[in-house]
Amino acid sequence: MRLRRNWHGEAALPAMPGVLGVGPDDYRRDWAGEFGRIAPIHVEVGAGKGDFLLEAAKRFPQIDFVGVERVLTVLYIAAKKNQARPLPNLRFLPADAGAMGLFFEPAQIDRIYLHFSDPWPKSRHEPRRLTAKGKLLMYGGLLKPGGQIHCKTDQEELFRYSLHEFVKQGWSVGKITEDLYRTGFEGNIQTEYERRFVQMGQPIFLLEAWRP
């Protein structure tokens, strides 16, 4: 079911804890200054309602997390969960994935998460996929040497497409599973979509890739 747009919530976003500005003055942000320290930076692209980010930021306080989300009504839901007790190592960036290069320096990110991304199944929409060639080139420029991308999806076609693109572009790929919950994989943090798919009995596909 499509989420009804929350105009009031979107208007409130700029004043909410952890929500960043996206104007020209905010480009190539000083992330060490933003978080008040030098620490690894992990970015979730398509942060959704924030369940993964909030749990990850609580579980790993030594890491700084940034959630990139272009749908402001969805981002408001995530930011609201962080409002009562704002996590010092969590920020929300209301931007499109394709604009990440405006806000991060080259080789600045340690890890990128792509969780349950829109599969854009039609061939003409391939460039919009978050694991298309152009996006992988962008991520590769923003990741540090040895930086990783972690992907999870319920869409088998997207999983196989992504695996093919990573290999084709020279990324190293490992921890591949076609059914996450039958592999004994430890340390997994669920997203809101993931919980729904698991309850429906759908297999979850996972892969991890290292920057070439």
Which residue numbers are catalytic?
Answer: 118
- CA 143/CA 158 separation, integer angstroms: 22
Which single residue is written with the structure tokens 């993964």? 52
Rounded to 10°, the helix 133-142/156-168 angle is 60
Do 121 and 50 meet the contact criterion of CB atoms below 8 Å apart?
no
Q: What is the distance, to the nearest Å, from the Cα of residue 144 to the centroid of all Cα atoms in its chain?
A: 16
Strands (E) across the chain are located at 41-45, 64-68, 90-93, 109-115, 143-153, 172-177, 205-210
- CA 119/CA 63 separation, integer angstroms: 29
Residue 195: φ, ψ to 5°: -60, -40
Distances in Å between the Cα of 154 and the Cα atoms of 36, 141, 148, 159 are 37, 27, 20, 8
- CA 112/CA 142 separation, integer angstroms: 10
CA 83, 86, 91: angle at the middle one, nearest 5? 100
